[in-house]
Structure 1
Amino acid sequence: MIKLFKILTRKNNLSLNLINKFTYSKNSYKSYDNMFKGADRSTRLQILSNGYQNSPKSCILIFDSNRYLINCGEGTLRTIVSSNCKPSKINNIFLTRFDWKCTGGLNGMSKELENLQNTVTLHSNFNFNFSSKNSIKKYFFERDFKIVQHDYSKADYSDPNVNIKKIDMGNTYCSYFINIKQSEPNLVMEKFSKFNVKPGRWIRDLKQGIEYNQNGIIIKPSDVLDYSECAEKKILVLDCPNTEALDIIRNDALINQEDMVMILHVADSQVLNSPDYLDWVKNYINKNCIHIFQDEAFPNIDLLKVYEMQAQLNLIDRDMFKLLPLQLESFRQVQDEFDRKEKEIKKEMKVIHAKSNMIFNLKPNLMLNLDHVKEIDNQAAQRKILEYYEGEKRYLIDGIDAEEKKILENFKTKISNFDPNNFKQAQNSDISYPNILFLGTASSLPATTRNLTGIFVRINPNVNIVLDCGEGTTWQINKYFNDETEFLNELIKIKLVYVSHFHLDHFNGLYSLIQNRVDAFKKLNRPYEKLNILHTRYLTPFLNGNYLIFKNNKFSSYVNTILNDSFLEKNYKNYLLDFKSFGLKSIKTILVKHINQSYAISLDILRPDGQNHFKLVYSGDCRPTEELVDFGKNCDLLIHECTFDDAYKDEAIRKRHSTIGEALDISHRMNAKSTIMTHFSLRYGKLTKIDDINRDNVGMAFDFMSVSENNFKDLNAILKDVKVAFKEHVDVIEQKRVKKLKL
């Protein structure tokens, strides 16, 4: 902009007034003004999720130049990606306590940010001691993740946007007083142009309070600057460990301030809703302060794209893709009833319940923005399928054949006859065992519509087994089994978790699953049964780091840990597990070609007659090998990774993954009766290139896809409908493939 002024005045000899008119009429003076600004003028607090259904209780303070993440529970990265909040701009992470609910997402965040240049500053009451060889970084963070911890014993934290003071709440709990700095005032161009002076670097001095005085012209800051939108704002992130800590809250001067704008309450629900806590909120010193409750008991909808896609898949097959509980009218009734009761209790207070994507604009003006808080609309989601065929982009479609037209007409009929209560019939129908529920089908990092790897195998009515346990696995289980009693019962039926190899996207959900399972036994008043964890030996350091999470040192009483190589044919140890009580005839493992100590597994599942068995083979992550073919010979179901399509075979080889063609070849030579492909690269989003998957009983996995032997026959047939439903996405994938192959 400065160059523009120089060029205009030197080459065209235009008067400054004309320049001013030009810049103002084009609204470009703001760009010029920004050349001299300090702290960001635009600031907002965005809720990522409120903790409902094992979602992370996290939010993000957003400036133009920086992001400040407040708590990083398991699944936080996925909520950030889904909220379009650019994780790459996160330079600070604030933890209000040290437990897995606040820290479980740090692993995934380290994976996302490890290759960036910026260093993340961590804030916590717990000393992470990153300089020690035995620090938490050794157990949990990616090696190249650049992270340091701010030492509040030496100084409060400060940067161009904020000053922050930490408030000790006892144990590892803390709260944060955040003073959002006064931003530099706006230059009012209409007032400035009247002085007929040339803009220059002196405007920076003007904003610092130094008046302009040259050639008899005096300009005071108040003459041309607008201070109305730049005042500092005080907010508080408050985590109260229990009602006993209310004495700290009542008496701390930083917490109780007459000009506090907003308090974000992140304590547990039982604390937030206790009479004493509510009484303090009601009588808070500033009656105009806004109180935001991140109450995990408040029904909340997050990751809206998940429900949108499930509604679309439900249109294709109601048995494989059952509507999730939150997609039903019954959930909306529960939500409305909860909201009504809460308003009754808190009607005398300025309390707002946090919902995903709720935004609080702090600067320039205080304002609640609900534009991004959406309700689930199943029919609207399904109608989006038709929009690509009927809307402005229809010119991109290379014709519609008779079969596609028939599928579209079928979609239209189903959409017009949509009944939200169809879920009840589908969900309560008898399950054919074994049943395979895919909880996560993405690779490496989570996508908006795909979680990280997790497969929930319902062996029989009393036994569940989890194959790989990526971050957010428990959250996914909770989404599928929303009723609390049902969710708790499904957790205690998990007898075994298998981890194929030591990659973050395959094991980072373990601790959450263990904690929730322990709680489930307590809530159901049942004697605890140990969880068996089959794992690669490289996972041992992570499991040994459990003392950082399970502070009561009872981890060994919660789990039995067994190495995967115990089930290799050459050193098979049958005595390690009582297979029959698990509904199994045997478990076998084999080393596969990926990273060191990577395994495939075979489960011989007993059928109801107790004699015959169902052989399920899961490849984990791997390159194709003859050994794997022999290992899975004649299996009933092969679940095989296919991270890439065949156009990316060079990348598959380099990263030791498989392509679609290679997985199909393994399936064919293995003589697998049915095959499901999973573990898709982020580049594919909703679906991979499916034209190559054209064999009976062969299909691809989606999150929340539930299959049993009776619908394996439909695995391939539904792909025609899938291709029509996601036509726009299919076209994008094909364009990328053509570009890759340089066709």
Structure 2
Amino acid sequence: MSLLPNVSNFRFIVTPFTRFYSKTEKTNSNLLKLLKTMPKEPKHIAEAQKQRLRIKQKNSKFAPGKVTVQILGTGAKGAPRSVYLFSDQSRYLFNCGEGTQRLAHEHKTKLAKLEHIFITHPVWRNIGGLPGTALTIQDVGVPQIILHGPVELNELFPATRRFVVIRDLKIKMADCSENSCFVDNVMTVKYVWLTRTLPEETDKAIQVGTENNDATTSTKSKNRSSRKRSSSRHRNESEIFEDNTDYYAHERKKKRSKSRTQSQNPTESGTRTIQETAPSVTQTILKECKEMDLSICYICQLQPRPGTLNLNKCVQKGVPPGPLLGKLKNGETVTLANGTVVKSSEVCEPDDPGPIFIVVDCPSPEHLESLVNNPELKKHQKYATSDGDVACLVIHFTTKEIMLLPEYKEWMDNFPLSTEHIPVNELNSCMGSIAVHRIQHKLNMLSSDFFPLLHEKGTPFLDEDIDNHQSKKQKFDKEEMDKIKTDCAALLKISSRHVGGLSSYHLRPRKGFDSTSHINLDPLEYTGETMSLEEFPEALKTLQQQLVSSKTSLSSRDFPKILFLGTGSCIPNKTRNTSGILLQTSETKNILLDCGEGTCGQILRFFGPDKGDRILANIDAIYISHLHADHHIGLIGVLQARKKALDKLNIDRSPLHLFAPKQIMTWLNFYDKYFESIEDEYVLVANGEIVLNNTILAKSTKNGIQESLDLKDISTCLVKHCPNAFGVALVHKDGYKVTYSGDTMPSEQLVELGRNSDLLIHEATMEDELETEAIIKLHSTTSQAIQIGKDMQAKHVILTHFSQRYAKLPRFNDNFADNVTIAFDNMQVRLDELPLVPLLYPALKIMFAEHYEELEHKTLKRQLRAERLALAETS
């Protein structure tokens, strides 16, 4: 017996959205009762916050005995820029690029102790991971986070509040005025401002509104700066409005006035709460900040710590166990029973005054003068008045291009040879993840066509595995990496480090640079784990025979290809990124369907940096299904990477077509106006203007767009998810039709839109036994998604957007037919090859047997629990 309601004929009607969908929908009283009684907030967060505060209060009186700098994101092409400072008490993050939270999850970095995030320069490569990281640390019970950096950061979370829902986390902004300090029991941090100093001949141009001249993301290339915008672009630019839509209304509490009132009142000196409502910084100030282009460097010094007590020396001096040891440890002089006087300095190690490290980010050549002449930074170079004032470490977020400049190299030469330098930029090549390679090597055993090995070569293989992978051309190129190291050292003319993922520098105790934590790939281990499974070798042999015999009957068109860049929902985990699908219609035409955080990095990891640039340059359209963060937060990163790729390849290409809900312009206009210029990289085509049978867009305009994309038609429909959520169908000039659901419950309108599709890509967030949860979250189950494919008579169905509980494999059921495919990250399949993919399923179930058995066990427990509840209600 089961309590799960029969929802086969259920039609959507949740009160906040009744105006959004048809008024003819009928109420399901069981669902409304469930929504009314379900818990509104996870209880674990409040308890975790209390426990965190208790630990903090206990440790706040002492300087920590262990402090380490860890390179979490190396800044390699496609990888985040992020450095984690952890002690045995607190955690600090310096910059937070896209993908930071995913690497933190994989490497078990304890975000529960994170309290402060320091941002050097407010550009996407430094802040793209902030929204996702904030959601993650909120969920693990962090009560408060303080942002340090330029004042523009104060507006980031208010600007994203519609799609980044911060409920239980207070976000405050530190006062980072020039030469001021932050102090706690771990360290003292001094803020050092770098501002632009422009040549006289360009001053006038800047004053009248010349664009922000960021060296790597905002500079306009000479051959593309005068591109003409389309008439539709001008129309959309005039539609400036505030998007007040609540995209998470079905998950929010109705009233939160108490918490909002509390959050608007500062509670600590030197910080101010980032408000959830009206912006706290005026538009005029934001414009001035963008023109000043402020970057903040951080001079960090650990708090002094008394030398530790050396017990061996105490024994030699005859000090007995007991209270005298405590006095000596506290710096006191004691007299023993025999009259011997023992000084603390005689039995304790030398005091640690606290080493100094510097975090620097010089974003453009115009900032160099501010950097090299800064008196605060000079105090820690060779001009230091004492050895204790010399920086032991400098972390460079400065881009590789700026580090090549003679002025920057000369500035670095002014540090003594004892100072270590760690670049966190494209001088590095390791993207920091083992998990994505591990699962790809395993899946590659099943099919090298569907699961090719990744072309990111910056993560080294273990030495013993190099020769075994030469045939697959995936070996770690030692000569290439040695050249990078040599170039890096020659470039800096001083001691410097080419860093891999998780490289560390131990500040206390002083052990210096530590490369033992570098990540390495071990393909023999990954494949060996699978081949050791009892039934797998035979299943693999059978699969290979089936693939060979089946391929002969299939056509061999190279395109279209579908590459899944992200197949998970809500937040990324180490094996499934958030939503992103690359539809390659030809060698030179790419369309991106949704764009979750880290999408750009996924492209570069799959294709490698060089081919990845060509793929990015050939993206002619991006489709955003709806405005939940896991579907569009990676958009800015892709726009910037595409522009950089076009500049690098010296290609003049029109702005891409951005198909999205028009409400996305509130966010994009804000970012363009106050952070970095991105408006010339896209032309908005509102999803609501190309609805099937109700197209508003002028026919000539739509035809022109379709022709440029080699499409016969592109149309959308509203689907049953959050407000302004759409599905899309694309009909190629070659005749095939691809439909993508976005996020949705079963939708009759999607069925009509996708009628007779060659391929339906449909979300399948939940397994069938979680149908009630799927209704609450406004998602589909696997059987519902498959049924939609049957209803629209789609030839093939690919299921994606799985709950992260299905990290490796979703649960199968009886509805899985020969035309149903399960998507994995980094799975690439040609349309003509889709009939082959279901052949992999028996081997997949053996490969991930442990994970699959766990899913089955959890399902059984849920069923038993439901039966017990039903029995209790009837008794």
TM over 0.5: yes
Whichever residue aligns with residue 277 of structure 1, its letter is Y
Partner of 2:40: none
Alignment of 1:1-40 (within 5 A): 38-40=62-64
Give the SS at the match of 1:717: helix
C-alpha displacement of 1:167: 0.8
1:482 equivalent to 2:605? Answer: no
SS in structure 2 opposite 1:260?
coil
1:502 to 2:633 alignment = no
Aligned twin of 2:452: 322
Residue 229 (structure 1) shift: 7.6
1:604 to 715, 731, 748: 731
Give the equivalent residue in structure 1 for 2:115: 91
Q: Counterpart in 2 of 1:265?
A: 396
1:48, 1:491 → 2: CA distance? 25
Normalised to the residue count of structure 1, the TM-score between the two structures is 0.83
User: What is the TM-score with the length of structure 2 in the denominator?
Assistant: 0.71
For 1:280, give the aligned amino acid: W
- SS in structure 1 of the partner of residue 838 of structure 2: coil
Match of 2:707 among 580, 586, 591: 580
Q: Is the 8 A contact 2:409 2:493 kept in 1?
A: no
Q: How does 1:155-554 map onto structure 2 within 5 Å?
A: 155-170=180-195, 171-183=293-305, 185-187=307-309, 203=326, 209=331, 222=344, 226-228=348-350, 230-243=352-365, 245-256=367-378, 257=380, 258=387, 259-284=390-415, 286-326=416-456, 328-329=473-474, 332-333=477-478, 335-339=480-484, 341-342=486-487, 345=490, 349-387=494-532, 389=534, 400=535, 404=536, 406-407=538-539, 432-484=558-610, 486-548=611-673, 551-552=676-677
The superposition leaves residues 271-308 of structure 1 with CA deviations (integer Å, 9 ceiling, x where unpaired) of: 22333433433342x32111112231332242121112
SS class of match (1:353): coil
Verify the 8 A CA contact 1:693 1:716 in the aligned structure 2. Answer: no
Mapping 1:39-50, distance limit 5 Å: 39-50=63-74
Tell me the amino acid that sits aligned with residue 372 of structure 1.
S
3-state SS of 2:297 partner: strand
Q: Which residue of 1 aligns with 2:766?
A: 644
The whole-number CA distance in structure 1 between the counterparts of 2:804 and 2:601 is 20
Q: Give the whole-Å Cα distance in 2 for the aligned partners of 1:189 and 1:183.
A: 18
| Compared CA separation, residues 409 and 522, structure 1 to 2 (3 A) | closer
What is the alpha-carbon distance in structure 1 between the residues aligned to residue 359 and residue 740 of structure 2?
45
Does structure 2 conserve the Cα–Cα contact (< 8 Å) formed by 1:518 and 1:528? no
Alignment of 1:669-680 (within 5 A): 669-680=791-802
> 5+ unaligned residues in a row in structure 1: which ranges?
1-30, 390-399, 414-428, 608-612
Q: CA deviation at 1:310?
A: 1.1
The Cα of 1:196 is off from its aligned counterpart by 5.3
Map residues 57-76 of structure 1 onto 2, 5 A cutoff.
57-76=81-100
Residue number in structure 2 paired with 1:7:
none
Give, in whole Å, the separation in 1 of the partners of 2:452 and 2:727: 29
d(CA) in 1 for partners of 2:117 and 2:538? 52
Kindly provide the CA deviation profile for residues 65-90 of structure 1, in whole angstroms up to 9, marking residues without a partner as x: 22111111122211222221122322
Quote how far apart the aligned CAs of 1:453 are: 0.4
> Whole-Å Cα distance in 2 between the matches of residues 95 and 147 of structure 1?
14
2 CA distance for matches of 1:261 and 1:526? Answer: 44
Alpha-carbon contact 2:64-2:186 (below 8 Å) kept: yes
Structure 2 unpaired stretches of 5+: 1-54, 196-292, 381-386, 458-472, 546-554, 866-875
Q: CA deviation at 1:165?
A: 0.2
Shift of 1:442: 1.1
**How far has the Cα of 1:742 moved from its partner?**
3.3
Distance change in 2, residues 1:307/1:679 (3 Å): same
Superposition CA RMSD, Å: 3.3
Cα 1:210–1:274 change in 2 (3 A) is: same
Q: Matches of residues 78-157 of structure 1 in structure 2 within 5 Å? A: 78-115=102-139, 116-129=141-154, 136=159, 138=161, 141-144=164-167, 145-153=169-177, 155-157=180-182
1:340 CA displacement: 5.1
| Alpha carbons 1:315, 1:411 under 8 Å: kept | no
Secondary structure class of the residue paired with 2:153: coil
Aligned letter for 1:124?
Answer: G
Give the aligned partner of residue 667 of structure 1.
789
Deviation at 1:596, TM superposition (A): 1.2
Distance verdict in 2 for CA 1:140–1:230, change over 3 Å: farther
CA contact (8 A) 2:59 2:89 kept: no
1:569 corresponds to which of 692, 698, 712: 692
**Greater mean alpha carbon deviation, residues 101-110 or residues 158-167:** 101-110
Report the AA paired with residue 41 of structure 1.
Answer: G
Task: Mark the CA change 1:661 to 1:139 in structure 2 (over 3 Å): closer, same or farther.
Answer: closer
Per-residue CA distance 1:183-239 (angstroms, 9 max, x = gap): 355455677797557569x95x86554567999999977279744584411111111
Residue 558 of structure 1 corresponds to which residue in structure 2? 681
Q: 1:229–1:697: structure 2 CA closer, same or farther, 3 Å change rule?
A: farther
CA contact (8 A) 2:796 2:819 kept: yes
Measured at CA, do residues 276 and 692 of structure 1 come closer, stay the same or move farther in structure 2, by a change above 3 Å?
Answer: farther
What amino acid does structure 1 have at the position aligned with 2:87?
F
Give secondary structure in 1 for the equivalent of 2:392.
Answer: strand
Per mean C-alpha deviation after superposition, the further-off stretch among 695-704 and 273-282 is 273-282
Contact map agreement 2:77 2:609 (CA 8 A) in 1: no
8 Å CA contact 2:766, 2:802 repeated in 1 = yes
Q: How many residues align?
A: 670
Deviation of residue 268 (structure 1)? Answer: 0.6
Amino acid at match of 2:149: S
Aligned mate of 2:722, from 587, 595, 598: 595
Residue deviations 1:353-391, cap 9 Å, x none? 1221111122113233323313334333212213555xx
Determine the structure 2 residue equivalent to 1:731: 853
- TM-aligned CA distance change 1:223 to 1:167, over 3 Å: closer
Decide whether the 8 Å contact of 1:189 with 1:224 is kept in 2. no
The whole-number CA distance in structure 2 between the counterparts of 1:184 and 1:587 is 69
- Superposed displacement of residue 166, structure 1: 0.9
Inter-CA distance 692–109: structure 2 relative to 1 (3 Å threshold): farther
Deviation string 1:22-69 (CA, Å, 9 cap, x unpaired) is xxxxxxxxx9xx989712211111112222222112111111222111
Larger displacement relative to structure 2 (207-216 or 172-181) = 207-216
Please identify, of 727-736 and 507-516, the stretch whose mean Cα deviation from structure 2 is larger: 727-736
Deviation at 1:732, TM superposition (A): 2.8
Alpha-carbon distance in 1 for matches of 2:567, 2:630: 10
Please report how far the alpha carbon of residue 545 of structure 1 lies from its aligned counterpart in structure 2 after TM superposition: 1.3
1:431/1:516 Cα in 2 relative to 1: closer, same or farther (>3 Å)?
A: farther
Contact 1:57 1:296 in 2 (8 A): no
Equivalent-residue separation in structure 2 for 1:506 and 1:634 (angstroms): 26
- What CA distance in whole angstroms lies between the structure 1 residues aligned with 2:372 and 2:757? 65
Shift of residue 662 of structure 1? 2.0
State the shift of 1:497 in Å.
1.0
1:117/1:58 CA distance change after superposition, 3 Å:
closer
Q: 1:72 to 1:313 in 2, by over 3 A?
A: same
1:697 to 809, 816, 819: 819
Tell me how far apart the structure 2 counterparts of residues 36 and 129 of structure 1 sit (CA, whole Å): 27
Deviation at 1:169, TM superposition (A): 1.3
Is the partner of 2:77 in helix, strand or coil? helix
The offset of 1:519, in angstroms, is: 2.4
Following superposition, the deviation at residue 408 of structure 1 comes to 5.3
Q: State yes or no: 1:634 paired with 2:761.
A: no
Identity %: 29
